Amino acid sequence: MKITRMVMLWSAMLLGVPAIASAQTWPDKPVRIIVTAATGSAPDVMARLLADQLSRSFGQQFIVDARGGAGGNIALGALKRLPGDGYALGVVHASAITVAPHTMKEMQYDFDRDFVPVALVARAPLMMVAAPHAPAQTLPDVLALAKAQPDTVTVAVTGINSVPHLATEMLVHRSGGKFFTVAFNGSTNAISALLSRDAMLMTDGVAALASMVDAGRLKPIAVFSRQRLAQYPSVPAVVEAVPDMVVDGWFVLVAPRGTPDDVIRRLAAEIGRTASAPQIAERMGTLGMYPDTLSGPALVQFIRSEQDLWRRIADQLGVQRQ
């Protein structure tokens, strides 16, 4: 019995050695970053920018694996199945953490159970734009029209229960009006609807709308953020018309639960340094994003507050899982 106990004790000690050693020598092989977006999209480009910086800093290759679709279900389902050894990470859009649990019946993951947040990477604000023919060209006028004549303001959305859709519905709900919503498959089709007079308004990420806004073909009337954006200083924030209406998009670096704490801390520290570099901020600006970092307990609290916000939004709008 004594020999058996001794063997078990030494076995347990030896099993712990690789984990300690791996944390100290990490990374000694390529690191995979799964992204909840399609190849070539703004989030994918941002993740590759991040991966390049991490590769330089750690002297090891960080490889981006873009897996868009199903609201992040595909990407996070894949990441969940990988070991928490520091060699599998994810760049995740907020919606996969805060919105998907209230809109999808079948989830391949439970964020709080399966993952640990590493660092907030960037914010990606939403923008509302109006078509040239729209009878209202400012946010106060749009909301007044939606209240006075419900269902007469036609809004194009890039998918039912998407973040842009729910943000738009919550905005008009809080102002006491009602939009007539038409869903389209993707940003390109929704933009085409505005240009062909099939819709008046649209809400989407800044990156998806920037080219049309900059060309003067669509008019930006509001951004869903806490303040005006540096690249569009004349465009008011939604909170200027509807107080407390802040629905920020954001991206966070995550790891499978069980990833060594030392690896998490090293990654978070490097993300903080990388995001503060002027060239990174400039490049993110072209993608409709801006760097903003949090880590540790502050990040955990931030994510919980966002989860609570979207839970309330889903309840108030009566969102049904599909």
- Shared domain for 15 and 52, answered yes or no, is yes
- Shared domain for 59 and 99, answered yes or no, is yes
- Shared domain for 228 and 195, answered yes or no, is yes
Is residue 322 assigned to a domain?
Answer: no
Q: pLDDT grade, residue 20 (50/70/90)?
A: very low
Is residue 182 assigned to a domain?
Answer: yes
Is residue 219 assigned to a domain?
Answer: yes
Mean pLDDT over 20-34 rounds to 82
Q: What is the largest CA-CA distance in the chain?
A: 86
Q: What is the pLDDT of residues 177-228, one digit of tens each?
A: 999 999 898 899 999 999 999 999 999 999 899 999 999 999 999 999 888 9
Is residue 19 assigned to a domain?
Answer: yes
- Shared domain for 57 and 75, answered yes or no, is yes
Residue at which a domain ends, from 240, 259, 277: 240
Burial class (CB in 10 A: 0-12, 13-18, 19+), 15: exposed
Q: What is the pLDDT of residues 279-303, one digit of tens each?
A: 888 899 888 898 999 999 999 999 9
Q: What is the pLDDT of residues 125-176, one digit of tens each?
A: 999 999 999 999 999 999 999 999 999 999 999 888 888 999 999 999 999 9
- Looking up residue 62, the CATH number of its domain turns out to be 3.40.190.150
- Shared domain for 298 and 267, answered yes or no, is yes
Cα of first residue to Cα of last residue in the chain, in angstroms, is 57
Q: What is the pLDDT of residues 59-100, one digit of tens each?
A: 999 999 999 888 889 999 999 999 999 999 999 999 999 999
- Shared domain for 255 and 301, answered yes or no, is yes
- Shared domain for 142 and 225, answered yes or no, is yes
- Shared domain for 77 and 191, answered yes or no, is no
Question: What is the pLDDT, as a whole number, of residue 2?
Answer: 46
Rounded CA separation 70/21 (Å): 37
- Shared domain for 35 and 173, answered yes or no, is no
At residue 17, does pLDDT exceed 60?
Answer: no
Residue at which a domain ends, from 184, 210, 240: 240
DSSP secondary structure of 41-71: SHHHHHHHHHHHHHHHHHTS-EEEEE---GG
Question: What is the pLDDT, as a whole number, of residue 22?
Answer: 56
Q: Identify the sign of the CA torsion 279, 282, 307, 87.
A: negative
Residue at which a domain ends, from 187, 208, 240: 240
Question: Residue 189: which domain range?
Answer: 126-240
- Looking up residue 159, the CATH number of its domain turns out to be 3.40.190.10
DSSP secondary structure of 173-187: HHTT---EEEE-SSH
Question: What is the pLDDT, as a whole number, of residue 18?
Answer: 46
- Shared domain for 74 and 159, answered yes or no, is no
- Shared domain for 231 and 307, answered yes or no, is no
Is residue 223 assigned to a domain?
Answer: yes
Rounded CA separation 231/151 (Å): 32
Is residue 22 assigned to a domain?
Answer: yes
- Shared domain for 167 and 220, answered yes or no, is yes
Residue in 287, 156, 135, 131 with CA at minimum distance from that of residue 217: 131
At residue 56, does pLDDT exceed 50?
Answer: yes
Total domain count for the chain?
Answer: 2
